[in-house]
């Protein structure tokens, strides 16, 4: 096995949350470079790895070749929102664990040709699957109001209308460098500022192009339907939009939301809790941050499945 080209975030904490044992069946919903999968295989688990990025799957195939024929690693070159259908097609009705590492991977960020980052100039792409509408397609054809809405909703960019207006005026845009310069100029960027203002716009456009938040919501529901009684769910997110979705899902699924107002009738939960009360959120410690600064915004949330039947919306996710 070749060494992974990135450092998996919160690896020890994720493995602890998943509690893998010999014979466990676990889904690595965001395979990437296989950092989590490697540790899970070492613990004796069988892993079903999902990734819609053909580069990640191609690298994993080479990993299989160097590792020999390992029946405990099953690769699925598809979106993790499709995991329920994929597992049923594979003849697996239930699993012991699901792990997700949400967002763009280090491998994707570090390849200028993928167009995810502005640290080095590259084509304005941002597609995880390398198929469909690219960032350039969206920015060069969408209405100014649509672009502004995307920047505000997914990047929490307070000056989204100003940035969208500048983008439309600068069309056509072809490279990450061009887009970054347009955003910086629109927002009055000063070199040496602690955070590049283009960061929020790049995040927003990437999330839109890949439908990331919709994918996350679908994958969480699929996990609810797939996990057996006592199964473990572990999700690592990197910004507030993702973390809010995960936190809300676990709160609702475990019936552990805030108590109702004394002025409102307490009608009680509409379903049995399908997860136990979630574990406390975990962040990287100083030692990990020293060796991997990209872990600074990572948040791990985890919970354990109960024996209650999945809610109807989870069962319908593959329909």
Q: How far apart are CA 75 and CA 87, in angstroms?
A: 11
pLDDT of residue 68: 52
Task: Tell which CATH classification among 1.10.150.170, 3.40.50.2300, 3.80.30.20, 3.90.1150.10 matches the domain 114-210.
Answer: 1.10.150.170
Whether 259 shows a pLDDT value over 70: the answer reads: no
Per-residue pLDDT tens for 82-124?
999 999 999 999 999 999 999 665 555 555 456 556 667 889 9
Task: Specify the higher pLDDT residue, 295 or 146.
Answer: 146
Q: How far apart are CA 312 and CA 305, in angstroms?
A: 16
Q: How far apart are CA 52 and CA 201, in angstroms?
A: 23
pLDDT of residue 59: 83
Q: How far apart are CA 110 and CA 9, in angstroms?
A: 16
Domain 11-107+212-315 coded CATH 3.30.70.20: no
Question: In this structure, are residues 120 and 110 in contact, taking their beta carbons and an 8 Å threshold?
Answer: no
Task: Write the DSSP symbol of residue 120.
Answer: S
Question: In this structure, are residues 47 and 28 in contact, taking their beta carbons and an 8 Å threshold?
Answer: yes
Q: Mean pLDDT score of the chain, rounded to an integer?
A: 87
Whether 319 shows a pLDDT value over 80: the answer reads: no
pLDDT bracket for residue 226 (50, 70, 90) = very high
- Estimate the share of the chain in helix, then strand, then coil, as percent rounded to the nearest 5: 45, 15, 40
- The model's pTM is 0.88
Delimit the domains of the chain by residue range. Answer: 11-107+212-315, 114-210
Q: What is the mean pLDDT of residues 173-182?
A: 94
Question: In this structure, are residues 301 and 17 in contact, taking their beta carbons and an 8 Å threshold?
Answer: no
Q: Please, what is the Cα angle at 128 between 250 and 302, to 5 degrees?
A: 20
């Amino acid at each position: 096995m070749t060494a992974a080209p990135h450092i998996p975030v919160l690896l020890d904490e994720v493995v602890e949350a998943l509690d893998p044992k010999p014979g466990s069946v676990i889904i690595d919903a965001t395979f990437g470079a296989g950092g989590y999968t490697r540790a899970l295989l070492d613990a004796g688990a069988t892993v079903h790895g999902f990734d819609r990025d053909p580069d990640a799957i191609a690298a994993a195939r080479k990993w299989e070749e160097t590792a020999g024929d390992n029946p405990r690693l099953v690769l699925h070159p598809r979106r993790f929102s499709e995991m329920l259908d994929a597992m049923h097609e594979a003849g697996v009705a239930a699993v012991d664990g699901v792990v997700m590492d949400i967002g763009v991977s280090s491998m994707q960020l570090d390849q200028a040709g993928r167009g995810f980052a502005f640290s080095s100039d590259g084509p304005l792409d941002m597609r995880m699957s390398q198929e469909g509408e690219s960032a350039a397609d969206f920015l060069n054809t969408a209405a100014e109001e649509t672009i502004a809405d995307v920047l505000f909703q997914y990047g929490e960019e307070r000056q989204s209308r100003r940035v969208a207006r500048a983008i439309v005026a600068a069309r056509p845009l072809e490279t990450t460098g061009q887009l970054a310069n347009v955003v910086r100029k629109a927002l009055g960027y000063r070199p040496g500022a602690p955070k590049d203002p283009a960061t929020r716009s790049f995040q927003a456009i990437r999330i839109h192009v890949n439908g990331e938040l919709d994918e996350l919501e679908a994958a969480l529901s699929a996990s609810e339907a797939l996990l057996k009684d006592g199964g473990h769910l572990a999700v690592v997110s990197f910004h507030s939009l993702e973390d809010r979705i995960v936190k809300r899902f676990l709160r609702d699924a475990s019936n552990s939301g805030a108590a109702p107002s004394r002025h409102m009738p307490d009608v009680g939960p509409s379903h049995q809790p399908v997860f136990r009360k979630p574990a406390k959120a975990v962040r990287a410690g100083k030692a990990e941050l020293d060796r991997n600064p990209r872990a600074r915004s990572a948040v791990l949330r985890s919970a354990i499945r109960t024996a209650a039947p999945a809610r109807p919306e989870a069962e319908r996710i593959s329909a």
